[in-house]
A and B are shown apart, each in its own frame.
Chain A
Amino acid sequence: MASAELDGEKFDVVVLGTGLEESILASSIAEAGQTVLHIDKNPYYGGPNASFSLYQLFEWATSRRDFRQTPLVEILVNTGLSDTPTFVIDTEQPVKSEDNDAVQQLAQYATNPELLPQANRELQNMLQSSREYAIELAPKVALCRGQLVELLIDCGIGEYVQFKGIENNMLLHNGKLERVPESKEDVFASTSLSLIEKRKLMKLLTTMHASTEQFADLIEECKNEDFEQLLRSKFKLDGMLLDAVLYAVARVNGKVDAPEGCERVRKYVMSIGRYGRMAYLCGMYGGGSEIAQAFCRLCAVSGGTYILNQQVTDITCESDGYAIRFDDATVKARRVIMNPIYDLEARTNGTVVSRAICILDQPVLGEDTSAMLSYQSHSLVSLLYMTHATMAVPSGQSVIYAWTTGSLVDTKPLLIEALTRTIVNKGNPLLTVFIEVHELDTEHADSKGIITTCLPDPTIDMDSAVSSAYQKLAHHFSIKQ
């Protein structure tokens, strides 16, 4: 085992998990000159931000995943969206080493054994190009002027990651897909907006793009207002325009106060034009995982040590830090940072996100493009459409991710509705995977003084991981950004 060589070594910080937040922390700490040992229990990078080939996805679903964090996975094979799942994987079953084929293992979870041979055939077909898929567990985009992009530039690792602009931002409104106009040019060129609507939108864009001082005045002025109310009263928005700003731009889910809403719109508007006419970028080959890996490499360049596929058996507090035990070694660290799944005592805390991954036989929204979509019903559903252009799926196919807060039993109909309205008979789902992800509580880890990271949240961009990391760096390590 790899770790035996490290027995008895001391590190300033041991980081467990290679998700985006942990990786940002590891690289910043190593860059600040501290020694870092960075470990993942899985044989791949990315933790909850991982990106998988199809085979790896099945392997994750049947055996690799943490069953506290992801207690439920349902897989539908070539049966449309509304039928009952082909496989329901809700209990942990021991992996038999001689039976390591993920598809074989899937069979154990079949809900309708008669359909199994056909499902098996479909899966085997898709598995022939398994490696042409980069399926993300928690797909996220980057705002062109968001914190993540600034951090990549500051660290000098922009070159490590390839992005593509997300050409379309769309709103599912009254059963129709509406493109959200993004720039003044877009507003002018629009044929679907009336002259009055164009004027209202121009006013909003100009106000949100104002100088820092002017914007501060606006925030001060509206500090006690509700965001939706502000859009209605100050900008006279209603109908589709109001919904577009609320859901597709500010991505409001529930009530948001006016300053927060304005900040979100400003961030979006300021992002347009930096790398083209779009506000968002998505990473090639499964963005979150690639970006986490970029930070890991940066950490390694600064002297960080990496071990994957390494189980941690125990962490104990000692007078001057922690002893971290593996099967065949013990290392010491002054501080420990970890994803809560590394704490065997952690239980779910009630915060739940449900996600759908739908692989289609056609590029339903266009071949060489990607799109961010939103669908507001009783809760906001975010959708991300990707194709071979970002190396997410083989040529000729596409993938739509959809996610929202709440348990699968409550939100599955909503996710299906959002997916169905996006696809509108332009293609057929080959494979759909529903996942329920729970946040774990950190009480036990907190009591030991261990720093814990957050799960990818339901927001669409990666900035929450960055700001969460910044807070920890400032608070625990006096590293200021």
Chain B
Amino acid sequence: MEAAQEITSTFKILMVGDSNVGKSSILLRFTDDQFLPPEETSATIGVDFKVKMYDVDGKKYKLTIWDTAGQERFRTLTSSYYRGAQGVILVYDVSSRETFEHLSNWMEELNTYCSNNDVVKMVVGNKIDKEAERQVTRKEGAEYARKHQTLFLECSAKTKIGVQQAVEELVNKIVDTPSLWRKSSPNKGTVTVNDSVPSGLGSGCAC
């Protein structure tokens, strides 16, 4: 199984953006290759993060992709949501200009809370299947991304177009930015509470 193969690193990737732009759909399409029809989706409930293994140049990376848990609705994402992220996917809906205009708010929040300045950002315009209702041109999206020095792609979680590619590009860029994920000093010796006994710490036990 996966555990047997050594994982080079684990990446934390965040989804942000307005409600109903399709963050959860992109996530579901990427991790499970599924798409739920609109009547079956509602505001995100029950999705915390999804895990997917990903290979680059024969090395295995574990991606944990975090959804907003609906906390984007009133812009109450916790600052801890942003901590330790290596990549962020900022999603807007190409058929809703408002969601595109709100990217600046999300960008501002990212810059406030992301501890690492090198964090890789990608702007993604979703729902290109709704071409007839398009309100934001591809050019505008690309322009915005260039201005903010982020990656850019358009996709459709419904038709699959661009989804895999978006995550791949983001991850490749993270892999190319080792400063983001090589153990840096603040994370040295951190403890994650779980049931397993930490290795290499010695027993230190008083018994």
CB-CB contacts below 8 Å: A269-300 with B: 269, 272-277, 281, 284-285, 290, 293-294, 296-298, 300
User: CA–CA, A424 to B79, complex, Å?
Assistant: 36
Taking CB atoms, residues of chain A closer than 8 Å to B45 are 301-303
A322 at the binding interface (Cβ < 8 Å): no
User: CA–CA, A149 to B74, complex, Å?
Assistant: 30
A349 at the binding interface (Cβ < 8 Å): no
User: CA–CA, A158 to B198, complex, Å?
Assistant: 14
Return the contact of B206 from the options A163, A272, A306 (Cβ within 8 A).
A272
User: CA–CA, A209 to B81, complex, Å?
Assistant: 38
Please, what's the 1-or-0 string for A140-176, where 1 marks a CB less than 8 Å from any CB in chain B?
0010000001001100001111111100000000000
Return the contact of B78 from the options A45, A272, A275 (Cβ within 8 A).
A45
B80 at the binding interface (Cβ < 8 Å): yes
B204 touches A391 (CB 8 A): no
Taking CB atoms, residues of chain B closer than 8 Å to A308 are 74, 76
B186 touches A161 (CB 8 A): no
Chain A interface size range: 35 or more
Cβ-closest chain A residue relative to B81: A297
B147 to chain A, nearest CB (A): 24
User: CA–CA, A162 to B194, complex, Å?
Assistant: 11
B192 at the binding interface (Cβ < 8 Å): yes
A2 at the binding interface (Cβ < 8 Å): yes
B205 at the binding interface (Cβ < 8 Å): yes
A302 touches B46 (CB 8 A): yes
A11 to chain B, nearest CB (A): 14
A149 touches B193 (CB 8 A): yes
B206 touches A285 (CB 8 A): no
A294 touches B80 (CB 8 A): yes
Please, what's the 1-or-0 string for B163-207, where 1 marks a CB less than 8 Å from any CB in chain A?
000000000000000000000001101111111011001111111
A79 at the binding interface (Cβ < 8 Å): no
Taking CB atoms, residues of chain B closer than 8 Å to A161 are 80, 192-193
Taking CB atoms, residues of chain A closer than 8 Å to B112 are 131
Taking CB atoms, residues of chain B closer than 8 Å to A273 are 203-207
Query: Which stretch, B30-38, B65-73, B153-161, touches the partner chain A?
Result: B65-73
B110 to chain A, nearest CB (A): 14
The count of residues in chain B whose C-beta lies closer than 8 Å to any C-beta of chain A is 37
Known interface pairs A294-B80, A297-B69, A303-B45. Does A2 touch B74 (Cβ–Cβ under 8 Å)? Answer: yes
User: CA–CA, A275 to B202, complex, Å?
Assistant: 10
Cβ-closest chain A residue relative to B203: A273
Cβ-closest chain A residue relative to B71: A300
B74 touches A163 (CB 8 A): no
Taking CB atoms, residues of chain B closer than 8 Å to A164 are 189-191
Return the contact of A276 from the options B74, B75, B195, B198 (Cβ within 8 A).
B198
B191 touches A389 (CB 8 A): no
Taking CB atoms, residues of chain B closer than 8 Å to A184 are 206-207
A248 to chain B, nearest CB (A): 15
B191 touches A183 (CB 8 A): no
A276 touches B191 (CB 8 A): yes
B130 at the binding interface (Cβ < 8 Å): no
User: CA–CA, A297 to B202, complex, Å?
Assistant: 34
Taking CB atoms, residues of chain B closer than 8 Å to A436 are none
B193 touches A152 (CB 8 A): yes
Taking CB atoms, residues of chain B closer than 8 Å to A269 are 206
Return the contact of A45 from the options B69, B79, B203, B207 (Cβ within 8 A).
B79
Taking CB atoms, residues of chain A closer than 8 Å to B76 are 306-308
A157 to chain B, nearest CB (A): 9
Question: What would 5 A/B residue contacts be, using CB atoms closer than 8 Å?
Answer: A183-B204, A273-B207, A297-B69, A305-B70, A391-B186
Interface pairs A-B: 7 shortest CB-CB:
A277-B204, A273-B205, A293-B78, A300-B69, A306-B76, A158-B193, A2-B74
